[in-house]
Structure 1
Amino acid sequence: MTEPGNAQTKAGKAESAPQVHLSAAVMAHPSRARAARRLRAELAELAPAVVFDPDPQGPPSALRTARRAWNTVAPGATHHLVLQDDAVPSAGFAAQAAAAAQARPDDGLAFFTEWGSRTAHMVRIAALTGASWARAVDEYVPAPALLLPAHLARGFDDYAELKADPATPDDVVLDDYLRELGVRTYVSVPNLADHLETPSLTGNDHMGARRCVCLPAEGDSPVDWTGPTVEALPMVPQFSWWEGLSCIRVRDGDSDRDRDRDRYRKEWTAPILAARGLTAAELDAACRAAVPAAVREIVSEMLIAQWWLTACALGVVVADLGLPAERIPDAARQPVAARALATMFPGGVRRFLPVRQFERAGELMVEPLVAALCLGARYGGGSP
């Protein structure tokens, strides 16, 4: 494990922060009024305002509704939460969100990230290494369940009016806004909300199912929101659910100022693993030995091989963070980590695999994933 202040840091101490007061809004399309009312009832203690699309017959856009939702901060609120109408909060969400804001009062806090995103792999790295937070590293802010300090929430509408193209997705505009202000966004580990599988109103059905990485479960230890954080890393492995290919996102910039931007360039995984000493022959042999025939019957060999590269690269990264190969099996059995790992395979191949096979495929690929992590970790532990 790395020391605080390096790749993992401790969140601000809750006792040093003033008491938080949350306000909330649900942003919704009129066609989803029932879902919005469900959310309002489930989060009655927050009394969220329901904000409908002001132009529901206009071109599909979440931004125009988001602008209104972020501008509904209640008087006296220190933080404002906006949930989209297809968010599904976990039990005890409001209390957990308030505790999280108490621990990190100045940051953007996302309580959902979809299971195939770049940030999803940051959440898995955090779960394996015992962290409570993972830095959001996609080029958008995970927005289905997002909390901002009140003054930032109030400023978003003006920013979007002045600087945003109305056709730009709200999560991209939020990312631009927060980056311009130097505000970082972190994702909770575990996630505290899931995503309801309903037809997309903004043309995202081609993305396939967008579920969360992992949720809390009965029997989990209480989350310490002041716990460690996985900050932006030198490299983030990613299995592209769109292309079906493995890549690694490498941080750009040589100066401290450039690194603070946390922009990433795309490189292919195999050459980076080869530079660490992990050869194609060893990768292929290990993959053939680990992946069961039941998976090979429903997923192409090409997809399996590319996903395997990503899993091995994750092992390299967690070893670089101080988790050696011999400790990975125990770490992977911890409840939050186990659930986060189980979503990695279906989250990556969701466009290529029928929904009815997600759960079984995820279960079948957990042991191969742990084997891949251990293999990659044997080539990690040094400087990337």
Structure 2
Amino acid sequence: MTRTRVSSAVMTHPVRLVQAQDLAGRLGLDRLAVDPDPQGPPSALRTALVAWSAAGPAASHHLVVQDDVDAPAELLEIVAESASRFPDEALVFYTNWHARNGGAARLAALAGASWVRAVPDEFTPSLAVCLPVATAAAFRSYAQGSAERHDDELFSVFFREHGRMGLLAVPNIVEHIGTSSINGHAAQGIRLAVCPTSAADAGPLLAHGRVLEEPGWIPYMRYGEGFIRLEGQERGADGGRGHHHWREALPATGLTEESIDAARAAHLPEELAARVADTFGRSFAEELWTHCLLLGRQAAHAARGLGPAPGGVPGAAVGRMRRSAIATAGPAGLPPERRPEAGPDEVRAMAALAQSAVRAGENLPGQPSDI
């Protein structure tokens, strides 16, 4: 069996060089990959090609992180152990708390899974990715000469064409820092990990935890509204990039508006909803609760297909992972311009409201239909 050896690089731009040097020094990362044309049009892919060409000669895998992240000292150890467990997989160690992959990771956390297969109709989060060196070389060859400037978008095209998306680490030990963006994402506002987790918990979760390959339909929130990513959506005329509001998508889930309305009438905690509504409005409070109701329903369904909990994973760590994923649901679902208003009290209120909805959703009747 080939021994796992992980080399590493930090993608950076001269304006963040000191930040990148500090990150590499703290984490023991091998080298910096600096934008070769810093005066040119913004392009993450241009720098990514430098980073993915920096694999060590004896490496079996190569890790690339971006310069605007933080991570614990155990990062390389955890990445190497994960690569040993999944030697042929593309492994993603940070997932944004919003959009479809964030929804998939949050659903997996609630189901008790430590890894989830990324969806094929969205960008692959690229803040911290580990590839087998052969895959890294193939991606470089594929990307050379591409007009695409977003490496995360091209990753997904590459993985789709090769028939297998990456695996998302559900407990996130890598966190995004800051809100600036060299590549034009600043309008998205505060962007954080979907399930921030300590290295002590993430180590056993990622080494031994279950993998959710087929989450089914996936609830997610964006700009204050709840949506559902449907199974097979990527086969649509638009490549699956469209968004289906949960009401529009319900017929494909086996659920009905009547069942949702009945659950809300029976289980919505009015005092908690009022606390959230005081800051963010009644419409958002109800949309968040419904979104988490659907998450709880689908997570319970996914959990039944995962089988018994594996050995080596402390139950307390799974519980903390679940609570972490629930705690980010509210802030992630806010419009970007409202996220700075989510202080500690507001986050606690949203988390309590979300938790009540997840519990109600776990008992929601109805089975997903075939798409």
TM-score norm. by structure 2 comes to 0.86
Give the C-alpha shift of residue 86 in structure 1.
0.4
Match of 1:28 among 6, 12, 27: 12
Match of 2:130 in 1: 147
Who is 2:231 aligned against? 251
Aligned equivalents of 1:19 and 1:78: distance in 2?
8
Distance 2:240 2:5 in 1: 33
- Aligned match of 1:87: 69
| CA distance, structure 2, for counterparts of residue 380 and residue 22 of structure 1 | 46
Alignment match of 1:276 (pick from 252, 255, 258): 255
Please tell me whether residue 37 in structure 1 is matched to residue 16 in structure 2.
no
SS of corresponding position for 2:342? helix
Query: Which region of structure 1 is more displaced relative to structure 2, 138-147 or 332-341?
Result: 332-341
SS in 1 for 2:220: strand
Q: Deviations over 1:281-317 (max 9, x none)?
A: 4355344626343321110222222222211111221
Matched-pair contact (CA < 8 Å) for 2:107–2:218: no
Q: 1:229 aligns with which of 188, 211, 215?
A: 211
The TM-score with structure 1 as length reference comes to 0.83
Question: For the residues of structure 1 that align with 2:271 and 2:219, how far apart are their CA atoms?
Answer: 20
- Structure 1 window deviating more from structure 2 (268-277 vs 197-206): it is 268-277
Identity between Structure 1 and Structure 2 (%)? 31
SS of 1:24's partner is strand
SS at match of 1:23: strand
| Residue in structure 2 matching 1:111, options 93, 101, 125 | 93
Contact 2:255 2:367 (C-alpha < 8 Å) held by counterparts = no
Q: CA, structure 1 residues 249+26, in 2 after alignment: closer, same or farther (shift >3 Å)?
A: same
Q: 1:115 to 1:24 in 2, by over 3 A?
A: same
Q: Using the TM superposition, give the Cα deviation of residue 92 of structure 1 relative to its aligned residue in structure 2, in angstroms.
A: 0.8
Q: How does 1:1-384 map to 2 (within 5 A)?
A: 18-44=2-28, 47-137=29-119, 139-162=122-145, 164-166=146-148, 168-217=149-198, 220=201, 222-241=204-223, 244-252=224-232, 266-273=243-250, 276-279=255-258, 281-282=261-262, 284-285=264-265, 286-287=267-268, 289=270, 291-322=272-303, 334-349=319-334, 351-355=336-340, 357-380=342-365, 382-384=367-369
Whether contact under 8 Å (1:252, 1:265) holds in the other structure is no
The verdict on how the C-alpha distance between 1:358 and 1:349 changes in structure 2, with shifts beyond 3 A counting, is farther
3-state SS in 1 of match to 2:352: helix
2:246 partner amino acid:
T
User: For the residues of structure 1 that align with 2:18 and 2:61, how far apart are their CA atoms?
Assistant: 26
The amino acid that maps onto 1:362 is V
Counterpart amino acid of residue 139 in structure 2: F
Structure 2 unaligned runs (5+)?
306-314
Residue 153 (structure 1) shift = 0.9
Alpha-carbon distance between aligned partners in 2 of 1:83 and 1:253, rounded to the nearest angstrom: 30
Secondary structure at 1:225's aligned position in 2? helix
**Residue deviations 1:135-191 (CA, integer Å, cap 9, x gap):** 2225111100000110111222221125x214x311001111122222320111211
- C-alpha distance in structure 2 between counterparts of 1:357 and 1:369, whole Å: 15
Q: Measure the CA separation in 1 of the matches of 2:197 and 2:218.
A: 24
- Count of matched residue positions in the alignment of Structure 1 and Structure 2: 352
Tell me which residue corresponds to 1:11.
Answer: none
Distance 1:382 1:66 in 2: 42
